[in-house]
Amino acid sequence: MRIIRAKDYSDMSRKAANILSAQVIMQPDAVLGCATGGTPVGIYRQLIEWYQRGDLDFSEVTTVNLDEYRGISRESEQSYWHFMHSNFFDHVNIAPERIHLPEGSNLNAQEVCRAYTEMIRSVGGIDLQLLGIGTDGHIGFNEPNTVFEMDTHCVDLTESTVEANKRFFARKEDVPRQAYTMGIRDIMQARRVLMVASGADKAKIVRQAFFGPVTPAVPASILQIHPDFTLIVDQEAAAEI
């Protein structure tokens, strides 16, 4: 495990974007695992800036997103499909056929999860997976549990996750209660994993996840045993380590 300390959110975003851009430059046909939420937005903005300057080319890149809400269409402004296009995909030259997210509008969970697991294998696995971390230690939508869920699966979202995501919806009641997410095995099989954590509200879980026991009660803790894991934290998120 490698820990990189950043001064603030902007510095964290730039440091993470440096790692992602290096992956694309050194491996133009890389498979990038993408994440949603507020934390990665600064990373995507930096990558867009470098692309617009002519420093990056995403034409051969394949993207595989961590998750999508169940029961939500791609056309919805709250879907992760929409989030990724508005914050990243629409601003760079990623080929549409190389973009992959779980099909949230399909309510057949078994079908969606099986197809997504097979898709990850068909593209040769993930070269670099970007992650955030929830205040309860969830990665993707892998919530605290008694076991590590292995493959892509449908999950019931915890109240803390619904609370954290309600800012993206008009009302808390509109937040979906289920999601499709990559499993822990999907994430752990990525050749490299990069996590970003920002803000004082992440300090406690950063300490628990990476300086405590490996346990499914803190899903991110499994990353302690990943062979190529980098954590980038700003000063606030690093306050307890």
165 falls in which pLDDT band (50, 70, 90)?
A: confident
**CATH number of the domain bearing residue 122:** 3.40.50.1360
In a domain, 19, yes or no: yes
CA 205 from centroid of its chain's CA atoms: 17
239 falls in which pLDDT band (50, 70, 90)?
A: very high
174 falls in which pLDDT band (50, 70, 90)?
A: confident
In a domain, 228, yes or no: yes
Say if residue 161's pLDDT is above 90: no
Identify whether the C-beta of residue 219 lies closer than 8 Å to the C-beta of residue 155: no
Say if residue 1's pLDDT is above 90: yes
Residues of the chain above pLDDT 90, percent? 90
The mean per-residue pLDDT over the stretch 112-134 comes to: 97
> What is the value of pTM for the model shown?
0.94
Q: What is the pLDDT of residue 158?
A: 84
In a domain, 93, yes or no: yes
In a domain, 240, yes or no: no
Higher pLDDT residue, 172 or 84?
84
Digit-coded pLDDT (tens) for 3-62: 999 999 999 999 999 999 999 999 999 999 999 999 999 999 999 999 999 999 999 999
In a domain, 210, yes or no: yes
In a domain, 47, yes or no: yes
Number of compact structural domains in the chain? 1
Distances (CA, A) of 11 to 32, 51, 198: 21, 19, 10
Segments forming the whole domain that contains residue 228:
2-234
Digit-coded pLDDT (tens) for 68-81: 999 999 999 999 99
Q: What is the pLDDT of residue 166?
A: 87
In a domain, 241, yes or no: no
In a domain, 126, yes or no: yes
Digit-coded pLDDT (tens) for 222-237: 999 999 999 999 999 9
Residues of the chain above pLDDT 70, percent? 100
Q: Which of 185, 26, 31, 35 is nearest to 16 (CA)?
A: 35
The mean per-residue pLDDT over the stretch 207-228 comes to: 98
Say if residue 164's pLDDT is above 90: no
Say if residue 199's pLDDT is above 90: yes
206 falls in which pLDDT band (50, 70, 90)?
A: very high
Active site residues: 67, 136, 138, 143
Weakest mean pLDDT among 14-18, 66-70, 122-126, 168-172: 168-172
Buried b (16+ CB within 10 A) or exposed e, 36-46: bbebbebbbbb
CA 230/CA 217 separation, integer angstroms? 21
